[in-house]
């Protein structure tokens, strides 16, 4: 059952206009044309990705995981394709001081069963020393395989914050694709769903109608410290009450679900948000 504009509540600031179902459907159908064009362009881009050249490298280079040093080839787990997430790392930082963006991304990829069914393996690598990494993985409750690539060069090591894809041909290993920044968003399904809601993600760069609420705006980071204003960080880092903040008592959002993740006194690392 739907209401009509006559018996609907009066429209308030920061709300979509109220219309009848036929008017809504017409607007929805108009947008659907653009959505289908976007989907088809995405398919075309994916086809172009499949036609990219690739780079061979030494697959016997050793990474360090739960079973000690192993060749990179082992990350394929006998499959021919591999998706790798390269997680940023801050040496010596406590759990709450690790990268909030990478935490958000990896938290969304708890189960690779569908990738595995398609013949694709999944793993996470980072530049942290393995003892620190192992402690963090245990605290977060991650079940996907993690490895330290400390001291290794591209494409296995090097810059973090990337999604990279690899192909194996027997004992030969090739890099086929890599992306960073917003290119990693497909791993985080929550963002795509929020893009379909009236208020969106709550990020500062979004194009919003006049009067739309500001979600997750960053306030004061603590007594005596300057107020920070920038991109909302509600899905990156909050305090125990869920208030988005880069302050000393904040953690990456998924960490608040972990046992023992109480308020903290410091992010434990140097940087602009310490």
Contact predicate 178/165, CB 8 Å: yes
Neighbours of 257 (CB within 10 A): 10
- Summarised one tens digit per residue, pLDDT across range 139-177 is 999 999 999 999 999 999 999 999 999 999 999 999 999
221 band by pLDDT with thresholds 50, 70 and 90: very low
- Summarised one tens digit per residue, pLDDT across range 41-82 is 999 999 999 999 999 999 999 999 999 999 999 999 999 999
**Domains of the chain with CATH codes:** 55-184 (3.40.30.10), 216-268 (no CATH)
The residue with greater pLDDT, 170 or 272, is 170
- Helix, strand, coil content of the chain in percent (nearest 5): 30, 20, 50
- Summarised one tens digit per residue, pLDDT across range 231-266 is 556 778 888 888 888 778 889 999 999 998 887 777
Place of tokens 């206009």: 17
CA distance linking residue 106 with residue 86, whole number of Å: 9
Contact predicate 234/215, CB 8 Å: yes
Neighbours of 103 (CB within 10 A): 22
pLDDT of residue 12: 58
Contact predicate 261/239, CB 8 Å: no
Specify the pTM. Answer: 0.87
Is residue 24 helix, strand or coil?
Answer: helix
256's CB contacts (< 8 A; 6+ apart) are 238, 240, 242
Quote the Cα angle for 241-198-181, to 5°: 70
């Amino acid at each position: 059952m739907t209401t009509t504009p006559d018996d609907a509540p009066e429209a308030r600031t920061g709300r979509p206009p109220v219309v009848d179902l036929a008017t809504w459907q017409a607007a929805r159908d108009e947008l659907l044309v653009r959505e289908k064009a976007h989907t088809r362009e995405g398919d075309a881009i994916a086809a172009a990705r499949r036609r990219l050249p690739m780079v061979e490298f030494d697959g016997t280079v050793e990474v360090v995981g739960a079973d000690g040093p192993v060749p990179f080839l082992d990350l394929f787990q006998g499959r021919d394709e591999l998706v790798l997430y390269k997680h940023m790392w801050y040496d010596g930082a406590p759990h709450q001081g690790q990268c909030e963006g990478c935490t958000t991304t990896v938290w969304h990829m708890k189960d690779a069963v569908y990738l595995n069914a398609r013949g694709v393996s999944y793993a996470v690598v980072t530049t942290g020393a393995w003892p620190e990494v192992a402690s963090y993985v245990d605290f977060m409750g991650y079940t996907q395989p993690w490895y330290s690539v400390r001291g290794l060069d591209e494409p296995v090591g090097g810059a973090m914050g990337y999604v990279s894809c690899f192909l194996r041909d027997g004992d030969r290993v090739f890099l086929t694709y890599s992306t960073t920044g917003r290119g990693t968003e497909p791993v985080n399904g929550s963002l795509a769903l929020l893009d379909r809601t009236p208020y969106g993600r709550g990020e500062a760069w979004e194009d919003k109608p006049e009067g739309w609420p500001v979600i997750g705006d960053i306030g004061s980071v603590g007594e005596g410290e300057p107020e920070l204003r920038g991109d909302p960080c509600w899905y990156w880092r909050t305090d125990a009450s869920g208030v988005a903040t880069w302050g000393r008592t904040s953690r990456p959002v998924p960490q608040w679900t972990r046992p023992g993740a109480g308020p903290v006194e410091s992010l434990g690392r140097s940087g602009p948000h310490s």
